[in-house]
Structure 1
Amino acid sequence: MRRLVPLVALVLAGCGGVAGSTVPTSPPATLTLDGPATARIAHEDVRPVDPVTPRLPVTVDSFDGEAVTVSSVDRIVAVDLYGTLGEIVFSLGLGDDVVGRDSSTGFPSAADVPVVTSGGHDLNAEAILDLNPTVVLTDTSIGPPEVPQQLRAAGVPVVFFDPTRTLDGVPDQIRAVAAALGVPPAGDALVDRVTGEIDAARALAPTGSSAPRITFLYVRGTAGVYLMAGPDSGADAMIRAVGGVDVGTDIGLDQPFVPITSEALLNARPDVILVLSKGLDSVGGVDGLLRIPGVGLTPAGEHRRIVDVDDTDLLSFGPRVGETITALASVLYGS
């Protein structure tokens, strides 16, 4: 299983080994991107499936090993690091019942829902209890860990889900959330739609030609964080889905994220650099990114082939993941 590590862990990641690699000196013929671009998904907001009446109570096995009984979904709090759980709940047609969210749940229909994560990604027990929730959906990507226990001690059902974020794991994640909310038929309907969109998006990648070499850089200029993605970063799965080669994995990085070095970038020779939109803004846009040592000397840097993706879209692996793959493919290949 491929796991998307929490962003807190990224800063602490160590350098992996960098092996020698032979790479092409010119971009693949299939790559039509010529300069900076933003990959925008087709639907800014979620698209709920047809409403299904919840069948309650249900007892589910929480990911932390507890059996949790959910008797009401009238007041749902959905919180995780990536906004995945909130997106699933809204997509299942239960958005009107969500009373609390995390700061990563950023699509328009959730805009008026109170945020219960103080400081960006820390759970606030008092803020959650003030909302009188009937169920809290979460995972171990967000904390502190004592907060869910405080909520349980107060009588609130808290259901944990698998914190792993992978493309292949999207259907199971949707079905698990649907089961906890008593709407398995809605989960099945959403899975059918999402898997169809993923398959259609993957088909947009050209075949029979050399694959573009793509790297994902996680940058936060305000925090002085400059990281290059490798295996198990989550970004590697998205790069493969659009028919690309994840250069961090290809050159032998052995960590999901490692500090950017000129040596690694020059050895990797990416054709395209992928970044989060807010990260790009934090370093002063494309020009600022190119000033990071090594970036401007890569084929991607020389041709300014920088693709940014909204922070809440690229790594959440939620119901709109097929749309994200489609948006990336469209930017890369003009699909």
Structure 2
Amino acid sequence: MLRLPGAGPDRAATRTTSRPVLSRPARPARRRPALAAAGLLAVAALVAGCGLQLPLAGHADDGGAVVGTEPLSELEPIADPRAWTGEITVGTPERPVDPVAENPQPALPATVTDAQGTEVTVADTSRILALDLYGSLSRIVFELGLGDSVVGRDVSSGFPEIAGRPLVTSNGHELTGEAILDLAPTVILTDTTLGPWDVVLQMRDAGIPVVVLDSHRSLETSADLARATGEALGLPAEGAALAERTETAVDDTLAQVAELAPADPAVRPRVIFLYVRGQSGVYYLFGDESGADSLIEGLGAVDAAAEVGWKGMRPLNDEGLISMQPDLVLLMTGGLESVGGVDGLLEQVPALAQTPAGENRRFVAMDDTEILSFGPRSADVLDALARAFYAPESVS
């Protein structure tokens, strides 16, 4: 139940809601870089909210998440983003793949040194597998114009254009060697967020070129990932074009978010990112250099975990949580569902009730495959979360 300041019970309603090197190029960063991918892999391996319905723009997607429609620049931000009460599940609009080039012709063979220092030569891009935890790499390949060459997908790649391709992951995010070999890929693009790693080594032993891309993810690296993918597939110009498009969209959205966020730093919400998997008893708090810090800061909020020196991704503890006093909790929809929603989360983590976020049930959830994907959809993720933070009526 979302309640805005001044809203009485009659206003409240509910909803279900040389040779290229494939690491990050040196360039000025807007904020500090992030994501400790090995830590994220460890967390992943351990393996709908309700809100206010008002006559404002927004619609629910098939998963019950609410998607805002009017431009951020047209929204009226709430006076104090720490004052609304409720739970919001927000989503991004469904956008069709928009390739930067039609029928691109890769310049092959392409020889690159990947993020692990391995020299890899790609001579054939007719059968591509692009696999990572969030489905970002597969989306990039489609946006480069090589979608017709993608022969399979990971479980996180669910956009319509790839949905019919066979899965090569099982039990969530586990790579299945037999399924991969059955598809006879001519090149595999991946990073270290999927495992078991023995499967990746098995593919190399089978003679398949495997390019391991940089797993560090943040708003600053979204464009870099596009460049690196383009280089590996013999499409450096297309990769650069996609990188520019991604970076421009992110920068434009960051500027609009800055207009929504309070000018007074004292009024900016203190936010934490929780990763929870109730069935496995996993309760992690993401802090500095986790990727979540980049997202929270990009939203103009205060990263309460980083502020107290919380590094990386570590198990949650009551003392640390209470000391942070978050105004809002950001988390994945799958995690929230795994603990039985907000009521279940408050029961499992009672210390949350001793924070402003818990007292006001101020939780914002987004799909697991979107929220930390940091790929071509980064601007859409920022846009959707900014609506929930600063103009909650617009997505309710």
3-state SS in 2 of match to 1:219: strand
Q: Structure 1 residue aligned with 2:327, among 266, 271, 283?
A: 271
Superposition pairs of residues 67-216 of structure 1, within 5 angstroms = 67-203=119-255, 204-205=257-258, 206=261, 208-210=263-265, 211-216=268-273
| Gap regions ≥5 residues in structure 1 | 14-26
Could you tell me how far 1:218 is from its partner in structure 2? 0.7
- 1:287 maps to 2:339: no
Whichever residue aligns with residue 188 of structure 2, its letter is V
| Gap regions ≥5 residues in structure 2 | 1-32, 47-77
State the alpha-carbon separation in 2 of the partners of residues 324 and 127 from structure 1: 31
State the alpha-carbon separation in 2 of the partners of residues 305 and 190 from structure 1: 36
Superposition pairs of residues 243-282 of structure 1, within 5 angstroms = 243-253=300-310, 255-282=311-338
Q: Which moved more, 1:228-237 or 1:183-192?
A: 183-192
Could you tell me how far 1:166 is from its partner in structure 2? 2.0
Q: Which residue of 1 aligns with 2:362?
A: 305
Q: Structure 1 residue aligned with 2:278, among 207, 218, 221?
A: 221
Q: Which moved more, 1:203-212 or 1:215-224?
A: 203-212
Between the two proteins, the alignment pairs up a number of residues equal to: 321
Could you tell me how far 1:317 is from its partner in structure 2? 1.0
3-state SS in 2 of match to 1:110: coil
RMSD value, Cα: 2.3
1:44–1:108: 8 Å Cα contact kept in structure 2? no
Q: Which residue of 1 aligns with 2:289?
A: 232
Could you tell me how far 1:40 is from its partner in structure 2? 1.4
Could you tell me how far 1:63 is from its partner in structure 2? 2.3
- 1:315 maps to 2:372: yes
With the length of structure 2 as denominator, give the TM-score of the two structures: 0.75
Whichever residue aligns with residue 35 of structure 1, its letter is G
3-state SS in 2 of match to 1:100: coil
State the alpha-carbon separation in 2 of the partners of residues 12 and 95 from structure 1: 28
State the alpha-carbon separation in 2 of the partners of residues 142 and 37 from structure 1: 29
C-alpha change, 1:181 and 1:32, in structure 2 (3 Å) is farther
3-state SS in 1 of match to 2:145: helix
Could you tell me how far 1:70 is from its partner in structure 2? 1.4
Could you tell me how far 1:46 is from its partner in structure 2? 4.2
Q: Which residue of 2 aligns with 1:17?
A: none
1:31–1:333: 8 Å Cα contact kept in structure 2? no
Whichever residue aligns with residue 286 of structure 1, its letter is V
- 1:2 maps to 2:2: no
State the alpha-carbon separation in 1 of the partners of residues 45 and 227 from structure 2: 33
Could you tell me how far 1:135 is from its partner in structure 2? 0.7
1:103–1:115: 8 Å Cα contact kept in structure 2? yes
Q: Which moved more, 1:156-165 or 1:205-214?
A: 205-214
Q: Which residue of 2 aligns with 1:21?
A: none
Whichever residue aligns with residue 208 of structure 1, its letter is A
3-state SS in 1 of match to 2:146: helix
Could you tell me how far 1:119 is from its partner in structure 2? 2.5
